Amino acid sequence: MNSNSKRIAKNTFFLYIRMGMLMLITLYTSRVLLDKLGVQDFGIYNVIGGMAGMFTFFTSSLANATQRFLNIELGKGSIDNAMLIFQQHFTLYLVIIIGVVVVAEPVGIWLIYNKLVIPPDRLISALWVFQFTLISLCVTFIGIVFNSEIVSHEDMKVYSYVGIIEGFAKLLICYVIAISDNNRLIFYGFLLMLISIGIQLAYGIYCVRKYKECKICLIWNRDLLKSTTGIVGWNTFGCAVYMVNDSFMNILLNMFFGPVVNAARAISFQINAALSNFTGNFFISLRPQLMKSYAKGDFAYLHTLLFDSTRYSIYMIFVCSVPVMFCIDPILHLWLKEVPENTALFSILVLLISWVSVPKGPLWDLVLASGKMKKYQIWGSIVLLMAFPVSYILLRMSYPAATVFYILIVARLGHYLLSVYLVKPIPQFGIRNSA
């Protein structure tokens, strides 16, 4: 095993320790929160959190872009250029935060009062939860640049330790919520906001002290921005499409079926997130090596990483999800005191969505490394965007809530098949030379 493979294996090991701890904590906290908040408040929190989360497509796209440029420069050994990337992206995030707040505040309040199905006595609680979630989102924007530094340096041990601390902090929240007699929904949102601030502050302090290029300074370099806008723009466009499929679908379910269905959906996605972390952590460990091998021109190793990661990701998601799908009912009743209606069906369908989505991960990393994103994002997004209007039409025709998930399966499958067509590897490069 060469040094690169050893590094990937070590980083994957630390990430799996993090994942295992967080999985156990998440499963337990979901049980406690559903019991203490109640199905209605649990559903309200998830639909409000998902509504504010509509803007998290920015965080995903910017994180991908920042990691891409940092990996390229670190792969070349250029610390000075990496410092410029860090400072420019830090400044850009501050500007974006202002824009997000200006857009999210009026839109969010309008949706809460006019579109979402929320009992009148819970409106004030919903508004407070939205504000806390929005603050957490802004803090997350700032933290992206520091998280990207840690991933780019392949320092997964620290990433794992902080993640475990975050998990235990959320476990402590469950205890506080259980003994609290105040408005538990508001209190829960407030405590999660405090954790978000603390975690991102810890990442920031570590990076400033550890990495030479992490020098906080506000700069506005037009040439540097011009070189990054294409990556950021197309990446943001693609992430926005996923936002529509996830957050908007959640709102759509609330509009037609109420918060109880949102609770069922939230639980199903928690199960999926726990299992998908097996492949997600593998990709996190893999991505820096893929980016750096591209920067160095080591296309043989790049080619090997692409096909091995695709094969392993398919194995992992299949082995992890099949037993859960066949035993979903006893798992839910063992896990939860009260199982919302449709949770079992939603969980199986969401896992099927992961089946057709996971193999696309290595293809996306390859596209991101090359910077040739235009055709990939345009055609892929057209396929995915069709899911929302089709779902809306069918729900208006009185189709059941599960229809949304069936449509997402078809859309994700179509997206994957299209990705395979658009990203055809060739021996010397790994991707077609067309943009």
424 is written with which tokens?
């055809």
Contact 151, 204 (CB under 8 A): no
258 within domain boundaries: yes
pLDDT band at 5 (very low <50, low <70, confident <90, very high): low
- pTM of the full predicted structure? 0.68
pLDDT (0 to 100) of residue 198 = 92
Average pLDDT (186-197) is 88
Give the HSE-up count for residue 83: Cα atoms under 13 Å, Cβ half-sphere. 11
Q: Is residue 432 part of a domain?
A: no
Give the per-residue pLDDT at 22: 74
Residue 209 lies in a domain: yes
Is residue 376 domain-resident?
A: yes
pLDDT score of 56: 62
Rounded mean pLDDT of 186-198? 88
**Model confidence at 124: pLDDT above 60:** yes
pLDDT score of 58? 66
- Give domain status of residue 433, yes or no: no
Domain containing 149 equals: 3-422
pLDDT of residue 54: 61
Kindly indicate the confidence band of residue 433, based on its pLDDT and cuts at 50, 70 and 90: very low
Is residue 428 domain-resident? no
Please give the pLDDT value at position 432: 43
> What total number of domains does the chain contain?
1
Contact 371, 229 (CB under 8 A): no
* C-alpha closest to that of 151 among 228, 84, 65: 65
Give the span between the Cα atoms of 258 and 342, in whole angstroms. 13
Residue 431 pLDDT > 50: no
| Residue 69 Cα to chain centre, angstroms | 20
Reported for 180-189, long-range contacts at CB under 8 A and 24+ positions apart, including other chains, are 183/125, 184/36, 184/37, 184/41, 185/37, 185/41, 185/44, 185/45, 185/122, 185/125, 185/126, 185/129, 186/125, 186/128, 186/129, 188/33, 188/37, 188/45, 188/129, 189/45, 189/128, 189/129, 189/132, 189/133
pLDDT in tens, 321-374: 888 888 888 888 887 777 888 889 999 998 888 888 877 777 777 777 777 777
Which has more pLDDT, 405 or 56? 405
Predicted confidence (pLDDT) per residue in 148-159, tens digit: 888 888 787 887
Mean pLDDT of the chain: 79
Please check whether residue 178 lies inside any domain of the structure.
yes
375 assigned to some structural domain: yes
